[in-house]
Amino acid sequence: MIKTSISILDCDFNNLEREINKINLSNADLIHIDIMDGFFVSNNTIEKFDMGKLSKYSKKKFDVHLMVDNPEDHIEKYIKPLTEYISIHIESKGDISKSLNKIKNNNIKAGLAINPNTKISDLYQYIKLIDMVIIMSVYPGKGGQKFIENTFDRVKMLRKSSNNIEISVDGGVSSLNSYNLISNGASTLVSGSFLMKSENINDSIKNMLKDS
């Protein structure tokens, strides 16, 4: 089954309960939380996401994406009952294996995200430590970017190397590219504005998954 994970980076944080309730009422599988530290990328969203409020409002599990340097210093804050995944970046500083093990030791699925300009083969050394790869289809740091077309080939390459790994794609994902992503081996589609700003989230999810 193909999963959908709704990024709330561009949601209305002044009306967070209402926005999360829209997701609660939808068929989305996960809420994708983009944490940026102002160093790994220029934006800083650490204070933007109040995990206490999100945990209170949400009925969906969390898919936490740490775009941070030294992820080991941040992991603890996102270990919550609703957290299903915590993903770190292969390009981040610090000990990648140690961070991944810290996630797994807290009974949370570990993910490794990879930027568009990093070779897919760089992931292979960590495959046995991770449950999921997030293939970035835009450069991390802000929403609303244009989807990078060679993402299809990158998904296909990773899927050929591993039948079991979950492959999530994040950035500019919509019904315009979802079919090709799924047919090349993606198992989770992360989508922000396409879903959150649609008139009907379930109709938009249906459009993304219609040929899967």
- Provide the pLDDT for residue 68: 97
- For the chain, the C-alpha Rg in angstroms (whole number) is 16
34 classed as catalytic: yes
170 classed as catalytic: yes
pTM over 0.85: yes
- CATH of residue 151: 3.20.20.70
Mind listing the pLDDT tens digit for each residue in 146-189?
899 999 999 999 999 999 999 999 999 999 999 999 999 999 99
Q: Pick the closest to residue 148 from 188, 118, 122 (CA basis).
A: 118
Q: State how many domains the chain has.
A: 1
Q: Which domain holds residue 163?
A: 3-209
Arithmetic mean of pLDDT over the chain: 95
Mind listing the pLDDT tens digit for each residue in 74-98?
999 999 999 999 999 999 999 999 9
pLDDT confidence band for 192 (50 / 70 / 90): very high
Q: Are 203 and 171 in contact (CB under 8 A)?
A: no
Of the residues 34, 37, 63, 131, only one is catalytic, namely: 34
Question: Quick check: helix, strand or coil at residue 175?
Answer: coil
Q: Pick the closest to residue 115 from 93, 89, 88, 86 (CA basis).
A: 89
Of the residues 29, 73, 170, 203, only one is catalytic, namely: 170
